[in-house]
Structure 1
Amino acid sequence: MERAESMPAQTRPPGVATVDPGSVLLPGHDVPLGRYTTVRRLLPQRTRRMVGAWCFVDHFGPDDVAQRPGMEVPPHPHTGLQTVTWLLDGEILHRDSLGNAQPIRPGQLNVMTSGHGIAHSERSPAAHPPLMHGVQLWVALPDPARAGAAA
Structure 2
Amino acid sequence: MRSANPNGRASEGGGMALLTQEHRSAIGRELPPVTAEVTRREIRKYAAATGQRLQKFIEGDEAPPMFLFGLFTPILPRERLGHDGLPPDSGLVPELPLKRVMAGGSEQSWFRGIHAGDVLVSQHTLLDLFEKEGTRGPLIFVVVENRVETEAGEPVMTESSTWIAR
TM range (shorter): under 0.3
Would you tell me which structure has more strand in proportion to its own residues? 1
Would you tell me which structure has more helix in proportion to its own residues? 2
- TM-score w.r.t. the length of structure 1 is 0.25
- TM-score w.r.t. the length of structure 2 is 0.24
